[in-house]
Structure 1
Amino acid sequence: MEKIQVNISTQSARQHAIIARHSNEEQGLSGKRLLLLHGAGVPGELTWTYLANYLRGWDELLIPDIAGMGKSQFLANPAPRLEDFTQQIEELLYALDWHEFDVCGYSFGGMIAHQLLSKTFNTELCFLIEPAMLFSSDQQLIIRKADDYLTVSDQVLANPDDSQPYLDFLNSVSPQRLSNPQIDRLTVDRLKQNSRGFAHALRSVSQALLNHQVEFGQWVAPTSGISFAGELSPASMHGRHRLLAEQSADWQFVAVPGADHSLVFTKPRFIAKAMSQLRQSTL
């Protein structure tokens, strides 16, 4: 796989991304492109490297760093909202002349993917991996989750070296994860490397959940696609994903065996296979 580094400035941000291209021998020419949006705290290449290697059906993969995480930074925005992160990605897409593409968003990145679906881009397929807005259909649970994220954000901004808020975040998104202190320490260390970006991303998610809880609880997918949730993730999340699949015209829900919220890191081959099968079935 060939990887091209992209470093450009747009209206709101200094942008870093990777464009990954399979060789013709690996892939064949489909003319399809895929945008991959990472979650809060861990930048693009680190999030998607393994999964990207297993994907088939796309000629190009665009893997940006969302501002504050990795090498992308807002030029002047001390308190970004979700719309600002979405605008950053829009600016990158226009600068690179990406108007037709599929999109895959993980966790926080899933909320940006959701917003991009309402823009003027031509998106055929959407893949959502435990997006933050599909935690539950219950508005009270959504509000409680928003409060959890806001608390973690405030604590990280106040003391970014304290490990406890990051562990509280892991306990919130993966309450039934298998206990492994070594993996928890590694995850916390990764999040600490982009502590302010992580905190701002969580704050923007909290604000969006509080402001759009009804919309998120009733959202129906406007495109074909798949949403993924770990088998060990909360039942409320599974229920919301199943409801989305039932109410949307052409949508699937896949529960990933033995996985929690870290599924993009622990089950990349499984997720990539399901994504590739859907993409190749439409070619």
Structure 2
Amino acid sequence: MLAIFAAPLLLSLQLPACSLSKTGTRAIESWSRARGLTEHRAVFGSRVVRYWRGGEGPPLLLIHGFGGDGLLTWQRNLGPLMRQHTVIVPDLLWFGDSHVLGPVAPSLSVQAATMLDLLEWEGLERVDVMGISYGGFVTLMLARLAPERVRSVVIVDSPGPVFDADDRAAMLERLGVEDPADMFVPQDADDVRALLALVRPGGPPIPRFLLEDIRRHQFVRDPDAHRALLADLVGLEGVFTPDSWRGPDRSLVVWGSEDPVFPLDSGRRLAEALGAELVVIEGAAHGPNFQEPRAFNRAVLDFLARVDTGDAAVDSEAP
């Protein structure tokens, strides 16, 4: 959910502006355009999706986690991925610059259906999909909704259908909160600091004014929708289960060995449920794509290359 926060933070520490977090976001967008990504809008009734597209090769849909947006989440991965794939990088509804114009109930099903609509909008018959944390839940729901449209999936630090009520209770105890929204919908600078620690434990101290700026820039717009999305996930426990999986045979699970949100055991259980290869990124927390981009990019590109050649069915844990 949280890999996106470290990105604007690190940029903000280097770029002076009245609203540092906003300046960092704009810098990332400028760099993305320089890399060849182009910005687009897709409209599906009352749903408006901002997304970016670039690169060459088989299409790869990248779905971000809770908070932030697509570019911030995948900024350390886009360059290598674009050399071999056409990347489609949306902001999920109620995040980034994607929004609704009318009454739409926030839910995982709506997010997955909107991603399917985006594939139609782009004229893409079949894609590879990678999702991190909450984006992994969306990825798995998309594959369940339209398995014929998903060639392969890469799930990053997201337990999906193996996450149950006992796992949720253990997570809340580890995080020291009573409800997921208490952690993932921050109310003040201290809450943002706690979020950052999940992605980058032991990172440099962050000024309080910058933490508050990040909160205003990333979380103030749709906090009620964010709470509703979290409540919807809780409501799916016991419904969205391993037995309901109807996705592609070719799946990769990537996990940070030190993830405090979803421990590595969840990744092992998910890989077993999906019949997927598991790649563990040693030393990484909840954002392995940001903390260890070289190891992460290598693992993902190796898997996708094997998908291209029809040799991606691996059922062992990789180093």
Alignment TM class, shorter chain as reference:
0.7 to 0.9
Q: Give 1:109-124 correspondences, 5 Å limit.
A: 109-120=135-146, 121-124=148-151
Contact 2:189–2:215 at 8 Å: present in 1 too?
A: no
In the other structure, the counterpart of 1:25 is: none
Give the aligned partner of residue 3 of structure 1.
37
Partner of 2:152: 125
Report how many residues are paired. Answer: 266
Range that drifts further, 95-104 or 124-133? 124-133
Partner of 1:258: 283
Q: Does structure 1 retain, via aligned residues, the 8 Å contact 2:260–2:286?
A: no
**Please, which of 118, 131, 151 is the counterpart of residue 182 of structure 2?**
151
- Per the TM alignment, residue 254 of structure 1 is displaced from its structure 2 partner at its CA by 1.5
Aligned residues of 1:127 and 1:225 also touching (Cα < 8 A): yes
Measured against aligned partners, the alpha-carbon deviations of 1:225-260 in whole angstroms (never above 9, x if no partner) come to 2112212124963112212323433x1111112211
Distance in structure 1 (CA, Å) of the matches to 2:216 and 2:289 = 19
Residue in structure 2 matching 1:209, options 217, 222, 234: 234
Whole-Å separation in 1 of the counterparts to 2:266 and 2:80? 28
Q: Aligned-pair distance for 1:282?
A: 3.0
Instruction: Note closer, same or farther for the CA distance 1:200–1:192 as it changes in structure 2 (3 Å cut).
Output: same
Give the distance between the partners of 2:242 and 2:193, measured in 1 at CA.
27
- Superposed displacement of residue 126, structure 1: 0.5
Larger relative contact order (CA 8 Å, sep ≥ 6): 1
Q: Is it true that 1:276 corresponds to 2:292 in the alignment?
A: no
Percent of residue pairs bearing the same amino acid type: 20
Question: Is the 8 Å Cα contact of residues 69 and 198 (structure 1) preserved in structure 2?
Answer: no
**TM-score w.r.t. structure 2 length?**
0.71
Alignment partner, residue 134 of structure 2: 108
Cα distance between partner residues in 2 of 1:199 and 1:104: 26
Does residue 182 (structure 1) correspond to residue 206 (structure 2)? The answer is yes
Q: 1:199 to 1:257 in 2, by over 3 A?
A: farther
Contact 2:189 2:211 in 1 (8 A): no
Q: Which residue of structure 2 lines up, in the alignment, with residue 193 of structure 1?
A: 217
Unaligned runs of 5+ in 1: 23-29
More off after superposition, 225-234 vs 144-153: 144-153
Counterpart selection for 1:55 from 57, 81, 84: 81
- Check whether the contact 1:44–1:63 (CA below 8 A) recurs between aligned residues: yes
Amino acid at match of 1:10: F
Q: 5+ unaligned residues in a row in structure 2: which ranges?
A: 1-34, 173-177, 309-319
Q: TM-score normalised to the size of structure 1?
A: 0.79
Please show how residues 56-75 of structure 1 align to structure 2 within 5 Å.
58-75=84-101
Does the 8 A contact of 2:171 with 2:262 survive in 1? no
**Is the Cα–Cα contact under 8 Å of residues 61 and 129 in structure 2 kept in the other structure?**
yes
Q: Deviations over 1:12-43 (max 9, x none)?
A: 31221101114xxxxxxx5x110000111111
Larger deviation: 74-83 or 109-118? 74-83
CA distance in 1, matches of 2:289, 2:151: 22
Question: Cα gap change, 1:202/1:258 in structure 2, threshold over 3 Å: closer, same or farther?
Answer: farther
1:185 Cα deviation after fit? 8.0
Deviation of 1:94 (Å): 1.4
1:186-213 per-residue CA deviation (whole Å, 9 max, x = no partner) reads 6774454121446633541332234324
- SS class of match (1:243): helix
Letter in 1 for 2:272: E
- Say yes or no: does 1:226 pair with 2:257: no
